[in-house]
Amino acid sequence: MISSSGGLGSNNSGAEDPPTPSPGVALGFSKSTFTYEELAMATDDFSDANLLGQGGFGYVHRGALADGKEVAIKQLKPGSGQGEREFQAEVEIISRVHHKHLVSLVGYCISGGKRLLVYEFVPNNTLGFHLHGKGQPTMEWSIRLRIALGSAKGLAYLHEDCHPKIIHRDIKASNILLDYKYEAKVADFGLAKFASDTDTHISTRVMGTFGYLAPEYASSGKLTDKSDVFSFGVMLLELITGRRPIDSSQTFTDESLVDWARPLLARALDDGNYDALVDPRLGKKYNLSEMARMVSCAAACVRHSARRRPRMSQIARALEGDTCLEDLNEGIRPGHSMYHTSYGSSDYDSGQYSEDIREFRKMVMGTEENATGESIMPTAEYAQNPSTSSSEGRHTQEIEMGKKKDVSEKGG
Question: What is the DSSP code string of 311-367?
Answer: PHHHHHHHHHT-S-HHHHTTTS-HHHIIIIIIITTSSS-HHHHHHHHHHHHHHHHTT
Q: Read off the pLDDT of residues 229-266 as tens digits, 9 standing for 90 and up.
A: 999 999 999 999 999 998 766 544 457 899 999 999 99
Q: Is a pLDDT exceeding 60 seen at residue 91? A: yes
Pair (190, 270) in one structural domain: yes
Same domain, 100 and 131: no
pLDDT in the model for residue 83: 66
Q: Tell me if 17 is assigned to some domain.
A: no
Shared domain check, 342 and 195: yes
Considering 120, 143, 172, which residue would you say is the last residue of a domain?
120
Q: Are residues 304 and 353 in the same domain?
A: yes
Q: Which of 161, 170, 247, 347 is catalytic?
A: 170
Same domain, 50 and 156: no
Q: Which domain holds residue 297?
A: 127-409
For residue 218, give the amino acid letter: A
pLDDT category at 194 given cuts 50, 70, 90 is: confident
Mean pLDDT of 220-232: 91
> Are 102 and 226 members of one domain?
no
Phi-psi region of 407 (alpha: psi -120 to 50; beta: other; left: phi over 0): beta
DSSP alpha helix (H) spans, 49-125:
81-94
Q: Which of 113-122, 142-151, 366-375, 380-389 has the highest mean pLDDT?
A: 142-151
* Residue 9, in any domain of the structure: no
Q: Residue 28 is part of a domain; what is its CATH number?
A: 3.30.200.20
The answer to whether 100 is annotated as binding is no
**pTM for this prediction:** 0.77
In this prediction, what percent of the chain has a pLDDT beyond 70?
66
Which residue from 195, 128, 151, 201 is spatially nearest to 374, judged by alpha carbons?
128
233 and 285 inside one domain: yes
If one counts the domains in the chain, the total is: 2
Tell whether 154 and 225 lie within a shared domain.
yes
My answer on whether 28 and 116 are in the same domain is yes
- 170 labelled catalytic: yes
Could you tell me if residue 10 is inside a domain? no
Q: Encode pLDDT of 292-330 as tens digits.
A: 999 999 999 999 999 999 999 999 999 999 887 777 776
Same domain, 162 and 84: no
Contact 290, 145 (CB under 8 A): yes
Examine the domain organization and report whether 194 and 313 are in the same domain: yes
User: Does one domain contain both 148 and 110?
Assistant: no
